[in-house]
Every structure is written in structure tokens, then in C-alpha cells.
Structure 1
Amino acid sequence: MLLTPPGVYRPQSDSQMLARAVAVSGRARGAVLDLGTGTGTVALAAARCGAGAVTAVDLSRRAVLAARVNARLHRTALTVHRGDLFGPVDGRRFDLVTANPPYVPSHTDRLVRYRRARSWDGGRDGRAVIDRICDGVAAHLGPGGALLMVHSAVSGVQASLDRLAAAGLAVRVADRSRIPLGPVMRARTALHEARGLVEPGAADEELVVIEAVRGS
């Protein structure tokens, strides 16, 4: 069980899928960075898989506190920083970077900062945070290091693959899964249908885990 205080993203199918990908990949070794850690669920999974050191980052003060408390409850060593994506780890490189970014297409490109919706709002195309990760991760991967990132296919799988490849990384879709639409996606069905992001009457969505690897 993980402490999930009000205002912190509760681990759902995407978190579980990413944690599973970390375990299956065998890449949780050496130094690991978990972006947008929330409760710390993926960071804790990496630690359980044998990572030498796990650093977690989140913009939310409550999430940072929750991740620290959950690490203590699970008797696991995590270093948790409050900050925006790679900001707190500028100049550092990692063997594995994990990310479950906000990816739900929203009404505007203006991202909220102090409300719970910041955990899922990804701008009009859902890519406001995804693209920043794609553009910045190569500079934070050591030789042979990898990114594992989960997001909805609604947010553009090929766009992520292309952007990561343009950064010089070897890319692939490591896992796919179809799940029922969650409450946020259901609430925005009409918006997404109007933009052609989902088929009319869609009841589920595809989640993907993208792997991007830096050369040795």
C-alpha cells in the first residue's frame, strides 16, 4: 500500500504498466531517475529491481512528501527532489530514466500548476510535457542508458518515437495495452472526438511504453 494524500496522483493502470516494464526490461541498475514520481510507485519498483541509487522528482510539494513517506514505509532509499523535470538533476546522467507524464489532451495549452489536474493535463495535443522529456532526456542518459515512458496513444505514439529518434536514441514500443477509459478521458470524450483523437463512441484507449536507448 502507498500513501496517496489529496492532490497527489493515485497510481493507476499507466503507473502499473510502467513499473512492470521497468522490471521486465532488466534496466533498473546503477542510477535511476523517475520523473513526475507522484507517490513514488515507479521509483520504488526500480529500487526493488536492484537499482543502485534512485532519484525521484516531482513539481508537487505533496507528491514529494508522499514519495518520501512511502520510501520510509517500504524501507527503501529514495532521494526525492521538488522541481520541474530535469531541473533538479542538471548535469547528471542516469542508466535509466522513467516517466509517466501528464498526457491527456486538454482544452488549452495553458497547464495548471497548483491543482490536481496538473497530474494529467498535457495541453491541446497532450504533448506539452512529453515533448520536453523527449527533447531533454538524451542529455541525461549515460552510455547505454534508456528512457521508459508511458502515455496514451491518443497523445501520438509516432510523434514520440520520431522526436526521440531525432535526439539520437534507438526507439521502440516496449509494451502496449488496451484499458477502459478512465474518468478524465471519459469526461473529455466529446472534446477528443471533435478533434479526431478518438473514434466516436470509444470506450477504451491504448497505453504504450516507449523505450529509447542511448548508444554505448
Structure 2
Amino acid sequence: MAFPLTSPDSPFAPNDLDGVYLPQEDTCLLIDALSSVDLAGAQMLDLCTGSGAVAIAGALRGADVTAVDSCPHAVDATRLAAAQAGVNVTVAWSDVAAVEQTGFDLVTCNPPYVPTPPGTETSAAGPSHAWNAGPDGRVVLDAVCAVLPRLLAANGTALIVQSELADVDATVAALRGAGLEAKVVRERLIPFGPVIESRRELLVRGGFLAPTSDKESIVVIRARRGPRSKREAT
């Protein structure tokens, strides 16, 4: 599959993406889900932006985009890629929970979501900060679910991509518990990549994988905030 925008073969790719998560199938699935949202003039926030591929896709469709990542390499790569793509993207170095701006019409997120049993933190070469997500894969996902109601404007939408290994039902339940409408809107079955393969034995032992599995399902979950209540409006 040829990946858009900031893939190594793209004219928009920075020359040096060392230490940055390159666009993969989950990136493409999230970009595909953008087609369900009217982005013309929308205020968009891309959390865990990585290479900036999703942020740039939103900007190319007319959104006013802010991109955030806690990795300084990702911040630099996104700024460069946006400049090469000829779009304006405001890029900030920040943890998810520390984002202060609110009122976004769309929030997108491709967070770290790979379960990381003790001893697997360095089991695959690459920017491990982009996929290692704690023993159950939910360290960042839970933080995103908690902060979304504050970040979204009235009638705002969020699109989150994750693997089934990090418990899709738990994400949907957390979003609904936070007062948002939530459901799976995209799904794709993909072969295991090098990260999962490198820690397969421990993931099987931990109950995340069946011993014969060689594929995982990745999904996009859409969450929506309703109109502001009278209390919020005052």
C-alpha cells in the first residue's frame, strides 16, 4: 500500500524522519474516516500527530489545524512536512492532558496503543514512544477519552484509531461514560507488524493474542458531543 502525504515516497516527506512514527495502515484508515466530516473552515486538533500525515490531510481539505505531540522529533517533522505540503498547521509540543485550547469541531488521534508487558519496551527497533502504551495498551487511550469532552465544541466530532488488542469496547464505554455518543465507523484486518511479532510470546501469555493469530483488527471510533446544555451556555 502506498501511504499518502508523509510517507517516505511522498514529495511532502521530511528528509529526516528518524525517531518519528511513519504512516501505516492505521494512519490511512484514520485519514479515510475524515471523509465523513465537513472540514471546510473547521477547527481541527490532531493529537499524537506523529509525522503529521492526518493533520496535513485535514489542512488540505480546508480545516484550521492544530497538531500536538509529546515527542520533539514529531513536532519538528510535522512542521517541516506541513511547510513542504504548502499548508498552515500550528504545531505544539504537549502531552494530551495538557492541551489548553478548547472548542474544536474535530479532534483526531492515532495514539500509542500496543500492549507493553514488562520486558517488551525495547523489543522492536524504532520510535517506541509512538506505540508502547503500558501493560494493557490503554495508557494514552484512557487519557484521550477523559479529555475529549473538554476539547470538543458543541456538536464536535472525534475520530480515534486503535487496535483490538487495546480493548475497543473499553474505549467506546469510556467515551459514552464521558457523555459522548460513540461507535466504531471503520475497521480493517491487517497482518501483524514487527512490533507485535517481536512481543508475540508475551502477548499470547497475557491473553491479548490467540497462539495461532497472525492478524489484528484496527478500528476507527467516532465520538460526538451533543449541543451545549443550558448550564454550559451560561
Query: Aligning the two structures, in what range does the TM-score lie when normalised by the shorter sequence?
Result: over 0.9
1:106 aligns with 2:82: no
- Secondary structure of the 1:149 match is strand
Change (3 A) 1:200 1:181: same
What are the superposed Cα offsets for residues 94-141 of structure 1, whole Å, 9 maximum, x if unpaired? Answer: 0000000000000249989xx821100010000000000001111110
Q: Deviations over 1:156-175 (max 9, x none)?
A: 01000000000000011010
Matched-pair contact (CA < 8 Å) for 2:113–2:162? yes
2:86 is the alignment partner of 1:81 = no
* 2:46 match: 34
1:61 aligned residue? 72
Instruction: Establish whether residue 129 from structure 1 lines up as the match of residue 140 from structure 2.
Output: yes
Runs of 4+ in 1 over 3 A off after TM superposition: 108-112
Normalized against structure 1, the TM-score is what?
0.93
Are the aligned partners of 2:189 and 2:215 in contact in 1 as well (CA < 8 Å)?
A: yes
Q: 1 CA distance for matches of 2:204 and 2:155?
A: 40
Distance, in Å, in 1 between the alignment partners of 2:169 and 2:104 is 25
Query: What aligned pairs does 1:56-205 form with structure 2 within 5 A after superposition?
Result: 56-87=67-98, 89-108=99-118, 116-205=127-216
**1:101/1:151 contact within 8 Å kept:** yes
Percentage of identical aligned residues: 39
Amino acid at match of 1:63: A
Alpha-carbon offset, residue 28 of structure 1:
2.7
Question: Which amino acid is 1:104 matched to?
Answer: V
Provide the C-alpha distance between the structure 2 equivalents of 1:59 and 1:45, rounded to a whole number of angstroms.
Answer: 20
Corresponding residue for 2:230? none
Scaled by the length of structure 2, what TM-score is found? 0.86
For structure 1, the 5+ residue unaligned runs are: none
Q: Is the 8 A contact 1:111 1:123 kept in 2?
A: no
**How far did 1:60 drift?**
1.2
**RMSD of aligned C-alpha atoms?**
1.8
Q: Given residue 168 of structure 1, which amino acid in structure 2 is its aligned partner?
A: G
8 Å contact kept, 1:138–1:167? yes
**Whole-Å Cα distance in 1 between the matches of residues 90 and 121 of structure 2?**
26
**8 A contact 1:59–1:83 mirrored in 2:** yes
CA distance 1:140–1:173, change in 2 (3 Å): same
Aligned residue pair count? 211
Q: Are 2:182 and 2:223, in contact at CA under 8 Å, matched by a contact in 1?
A: yes
2:21 to 9, 16, 19: 9
Counterpart amino acid of residue 85 in structure 1 = V
